[in-house]
Amino acid sequence: KELPNAVTWSNGNVFRSLTLLAVTHCEQQGIPFSEEVLTPQLLKQCVECLSFDMYGGKFDTRIRGFGLDMLVSEVQNTALKDPKVGKNIPTVAKWTQGEVVCFAAGAAEKMRAAGCNVLVEGREQTLNHVRTPYRFELTLSDPTIIGARRAAQRMMGEAQKALKGVPNPTPEAIHTQLEKALNAMAP
């Protein structure tokens, strides 16, 4: 049986958004990113740069601050998958579990009030703080699949950026852009 009006929520995108904001702050200040930079004041400021609401007729998270103004749905496979974000997520996540759970709870409540059934996905450490009688865990037999998936998402995001404005890109044009993205990622 299908769950009606089901939507998924990714805590990962909130962690990535907070990391992007913290890294951007450091770049603007001309200081290297480090755990010491993540003061309670900066983390509070980063959280205040996030909002969840209806944008363009659909629910989305907006990142607005430190010169950024973007919707997560539009940058989840590009800016939020940038290496400068990915390598710093664990540091930011270490200090923002509670903030992310609170943000996710508020977003889930808005979606629930709009009649949605919300499926929250994320790492066990974070999901353990979500109050619900309905819980299940999916595991992968081969964890390297996650890295391959992330690389494919980054390639897709770069290809989409390159083909933006092209009304009906041919399979060959898409393939060419994917190859360019792959070559740009190769060491």
Within-domain flag for 93? yes
Residues 132 and 144 in one domain: no
Residues 177 and 100 in one domain: no
Rounded to two decimals, the pTM is 0.74
Residues 123 and 148 in one domain: no
Within-domain flag for 81? yes
Q: CA-CA distance, 40 to 59, in Å (whole number)?
A: 28
Within-domain flag for 1? no
- Taking alpha carbons only, the member of 181, 177, 158 closest to residue 169 is 177
Within-domain flag for 40? yes
Residues 163 and 181 in one domain: yes
Q: CA-CA distance, 154 to 178, in Å (whole number)?
A: 10
Residues 30 and 90 in one domain: yes
Residues 61 and 114 in one domain: yes
> Which tens digit of pLDDT belongs to each residue from 120-162?
887 787 777 777 888 777 788 898 888 888 889 889 989 999 9
- Taking alpha carbons only, the member of 28, 8, 18 closest to residue 50 is 18
Instruction: Supply the pLDDT for residue 25.
Output: 98
Q: CA-CA distance, 177 to 21, in Å (whole number)?
A: 28
Residues 108 and 147 in one domain: no
Q: Domain count of the chain?
A: 2
Q: CA-CA distance, 26 to 32, in Å (whole number)?
A: 6
- Domain carrying residue 109: 6-137
Q: Which residues of 49-63 are buried (b: 16+ CB within 10 A; e: fewer)?
A: bbebeeeeeebbbbb
* Domain boundary pick from 121, 137, 153: 137
**What is the block-wise mean pLDDT of the chain (187 residues), using blocks of 10 residues?**
85 95 98 96 97 94 98 94 94 92 92 91 78 80 86 90 92 95 88
Instruction: Supply the pLDDT for residue 140.
Output: 82
